[in-house]
Structure 1
Amino acid sequence: MAGTKKARPDLALIPMLPHETLYIGVDVGKFRHVAGFLSRTLLQRHERFEGCPAFAFEQSREGFRALVDRIREYVPLEQATVLIEHTGHYHKNLEQYLLELDITVYRIHVQERPKGMTKTDKRDALNLANRLYTQLELGAQVEEKLQLVRRTVPPTQAAMQLRGFMQHRDALSHQRTQLRNKLTAICDELFPEFTQIFHDPNLAVALAFREKFPTPHDIATASLSALRETRVQYFPSETNLLRLQQLSRETIGITNVDRLRGMKVEQELLIKELRLVQEHLERLDAEIADIVKTCREGQILLSMPPIGPVQAATIIATIGHINNFEKAAELKSYFGWAPRREQTGVSFDRTKLAQGGVRSVKQMLYLMAVRATTLDCEWARIYRRLLPRMATYDDRIKEYRGPSRLRTIEKKS
């Protein structure tokens, strides 16, 4: 009859195939996640992936159990595959929980949403499930590698131990730099001539003098014996101690009484904070060195001349497990050392490093490369061979100049 809708079959009764894979995309949030479910049968039942079912659950053990129970309603756990976006650290608890249950987990970089698309957590979750389905089930290829899903392999025991250590060490290193910069600024305002005797005003012996004699007036009025007791062995020398007193009498530093009082208190507290941070860093470095020297991957990395315990720990903690990378090119790209070439006919041809990669590892690898050029190793010999071709020799300073701005090892040899 015209005007009547065609009756549709009851697709809810169609069972899933016995060995069918269920693809699950999880939109990660701080307190609440949303999982989208997709499979061949679900697509047949709902016709469009946006119409497939979704499930919201809390960031808690009860929420994780509810997700697993919902998965079991569709398929056994061994037939489930989950895709999670790496968004900060909120995904890590869920990822660990799923891996402990031997559920296959894939990861993907945070995806840029097309402009004009409606944003909902359900849609984001189903988009992830659809991306996983098209790449694994249908074998679809992607243009950008950032859109590629990669299987997550549980980190090694050493990586698990080092990950937290390296994050805390990185935070302490930044804090130490900030404290040193503040102490240097106080020295420049309070007693700028201090650096004529102590090149680095934040060395241990310099801090000892600044703590015991916080102002130039305290140094000028101190006895020579008191200054001798503060120095380390014979540094500074007797002559420099007398010069330090002379500089303190003629300093151009600030003389306002109120400002001096505030700077004295601030300097005292900063010195104590700096020593505490340095003590914690020394403890962390000892723990890190012990872990690296006893694990297999650490021993392999330490066998390479430019790599020390901290550099090896950074690599191990960042990688997690080497099986996360199928090819060496993927590892290089993850570290930010993959070349990117731009070419147009014969008029334009340029190659440079890609802008991506883990920043801390990228910086660390650069410093390791600089260090390698100063050692007696194969990398240094390659550097010597390439230097005349890749850099310009400056007759005035008697060394090479190049875009990397590295010192030549010819000068040191």
Structure 2
Amino acid sequence: MERAEMDYDVYVGVDVGKTKHYAVALDGATGKRLFSRPFGQDEASIRELLEDASGYGKALVTVDQFGNIGRLVVAVGKDMGLDVAHITPKDFKDISTTYKEGKSDAKDAFIIADVSLSTPRLIRPVGTRDGVIAEIKVLNSRRADIVKERTRYYNRLHDLLLQASPPLEQLFEGEKLHSGLAVKMFERYGGPRGLKRAGKARVSKWAGSVKCQKNRGPAMAEEVFEALGTMTVELPATEVIEIQIKKLARRILELDQEESELDAAIEERADAVPETAILKSIPGIGRVHGATIAAEIGDISRFPDANHLASYGGIAPVKEESGTSVKKNKRRKSGNRRLKNALIQSAQMAIRFDPRCKAYYNRKRAEGLKRKQALRALARRRVDLIYALLANGTFYEPSHRAAA
């Protein structure tokens, strides 16, 4: 915020906590401490404190976290018509080293209030964009839960298919099972018994009637019955297994629908975050991934460089040393998982549509990297591009070297 905007009688700094907060209020003219006290993480306590602050005149409330545990303070403050601002974690960490004494809630709240009064350029108003980002993060969190849950169901479905019909499981090995048509078939027919009972002609007719599967449907049915024909015996518990297969397949389809609804909700909010437009100009990044990446990154200035952003996203390579051997492609387990997934998935899409990304990926495979390692390497390279574009506020042009 600019100093010219800072026309407040009282500056309230709030160090937010999970179960309680701490506030310090400073006089806008003298800098004198008006009050310093803890208060609860409930609406009544927050209102009481902010009303006390407003008793001194026009108040600015600044928090160190406006999302998650700070959401209620922000919401109550806005409901009361007060201006609410926040200081980024990076700026708070940098400025706090200039203050003496040890760390405490009271000290942190004082620093927040004092910075709001004396160094307003370090604080930023909590506006519509921040609210939308908070909404996108909530939607993304649920979306990540769905992906994790669905992966678990796919693994269990593979296991059940293997128990009922190894040839059928082999036909849909790995991600081949992730086809919507395949899941719908198992939801309808269960497994080898149900498929044989229906017969190839009926299954083929049904598969061809599935939306957008006029050609692929009958072809898949042909492959299915060819696989079933290689085994004449029925394995134990097949009837019970097929009941479970139907339930698992049905749940996967339900999760697919819920994910589509969440994607639509994220897309609706994408345009309210300006960075999404920049990210969408990069090959492989659409509205959902663009909004996700923008929301999870937040303010790009809190990262000194692309290396820090890559580390935050969990895709920076980790060195693994053993004797004289040094490996740099060990998977990093830490980092923001939602950002990591969006970076990896968008890189996977870029391989399909961008020749330079495909060439870089193929080059890494030729060097001996496994598929997932090569994909992470590409995602890490694209972080350099993402960082540069967001930091400069420019759109992607094919001439950018970091793209491949």
Q: Distance in 1 between matches of 2:269 and 2:187?
A: 36
Change (3 A) 1:138 1:103: closer
Report the TM-score, using the length of structure 1 for normalisation. Answer: 0.62
Aligned residues: 336
Aligned residue for 2:14? 25
Q: Distance in 2 between matches of 1:244 and 1:363?
A: 34
Q: Distance in 1 between matches of 2:223 and 2:45?
A: 68
Greater share of residues in helix: 2
- SS state at 1:329 partner: coil
Change (3 A) 1:76 1:223: same
- SS state at 1:54 partner: strand
Task: State the identity as a percent.
Answer: 14
Q: Shift in Å at residue 173 of structure 1? A: 2.2
Point out the more displaced range, 299-308 or 371-380: 371-380
**Root-mean-square deviation (Å):** 4.8
Deviations 1:288-318 (A, max 9, x none): 4455368754333322223112211202333
Task: Tell me whether 1:310 sits opposite 2:288 in the alignment.
Answer: yes
Aligned residue for 1:361? 339
Aligned residue for 1:70? 52
Q: Shift in Å at residue 66 of structure 1? A: 0.4
Partner amino acid, structure 2, of 1:318: E
- SS state at 1:235 partner: helix
Aligned residue for 1:94? 73
| Larger Rg belongs to | 1
Partner amino acid, structure 2, of 1:24: G
Partner amino acid, structure 2, of 1:54: R
Q: Shift in Å at residue 102 of structure 1? A: 0.6
- SS state at 2:127 partner: coil
Q: Distance in 2 between matches of 1:208 and 1:19?
A: 62
Q: Distance in 1 between matches of 2:8 and 2:260?
A: 54
Q: Distance in 2 between matches of 1:280 and 1:334?
A: 30
Q: Distance in 1 between matches of 2:352 and 2:220?
A: 33
Task: Tell me if the contact between 2:276 and 2:294 (Cα under 8 Å) persists in the aligned partners.
Answer: yes
Task: Tell me whether 1:186 sits opposite 2:168 in the alignment.
Answer: no
Q: Shift in Å at residue 281 of structure 1? A: 2.1
Aligned residue for 1:103? 84
Q: Distance in 2 between matches of 1:137 and 1:276?
A: 52
Taking the TM superposition and a 5 Å limit, the aligned residue runs for 1:105-254 are 105-108=86-89, 124-132=104-112, 151=124, 153-156=126-129, 159=133, 162-199=136-173, 200-232=176-208, 233=214, 235-236=218-219, 240=223, 242-250=225-233, 253=235
Change (3 A) 1:362 1:76: farther
> Unmatched 5+ residue regions in structure 1?
1-17, 47-51, 112-122, 140-148, 343-349, 392-396
Change (3 A) 1:329 1:138: same
Q: Shift in Å at residue 366 of structure 1? A: 4.0
Q: Shift in Å at residue 29 of structure 1? A: 2.9
Task: Tell me if the contact between 1:334 and 1:357 (Cα under 8 Å) persists in the aligned partners.
Answer: no
- SS state at 1:25 partner: strand
Deviations 1:221-268 (A, max 9, x none): 5544334334334534676455334234246x4x04xxx454333222
Q: Distance in 1 between matches of 2:37 and 2:177?
A: 60
Change (3 A) 1:151 1:375: same
Change (3 A) 1:179 1:297: same
Change (3 A) 1:301 1:85: closer
Report the TM-score, using the length of structure 2 for normalisation. Answer: 0.63
Q: Distance in 2 between matches of 1:222 and 1:300?
A: 51
